[in-house]
Amino acid sequence: MSVGLEHYLVLASILFCIGIYGALTKRNAVVILMCIEIMLNAVNIALVAFSKYLAEDVVLLSGQVFVIFVLVVAAAEAAVGLAIIMAIYRSRRSVDPGDIDLMKG
Partner 1 sequence: MAVGTEVAFWILAVVSVGAALAVVLLKDVFRAALFLVLCFFTVAGIYVTLNADFLAAVQVLVYVGAVGILLIFAIMFTRETQHGSLFNRLKLPALLFAAVLLGAMIYTMTATDWTSLGAVAEPALEGLQEGGTGLTASIGEELFSEDGFLLPLEIAGVMLLAAVLGGIVIMREKE
Question: What residues numbered 17-56 form the site for partner 1, per CB under 8 A?
Answer: 17-22, 24-28, 30-31, 33-35, 37-38, 41, 44-45, 48-49, 51-56
Quick one: which of 2, 100, 102, 103 contacts partner 1 (CB under 8 A)?
Answer: 2
* x-or-dash string of contact with partner 1, 66-95, rule CB under 8 A: -xxx-xxxxxxxxxx-xxxxxx-x---xxx
By CB under 8 A, the count of residues binding partner 1 is 74
Q: Decide if residue 100 touches partner 1 (CB under 8 A).
A: no
**Is residue 12 classed exposed, middle or buried when 0-12, 13-18 and 19+ CB atoms within 10 A define those classes?**
buried
Backbone φ, ψ for residue 93 (5° rounding): 55, 40
**What is the CB neighbour count within 10 angstroms for residue 80?**
10
Contacts made by residues 37-40, CB under 8 angstroms, sequence distance 24+:
37/74, 37/78, 39/15, 40/70, 40/74
Candidate list 3, 102, 103, 104; residue touching partner 1; CB under 8 A: 3
- Min CB(28)–partner 1 separation in Å: 4
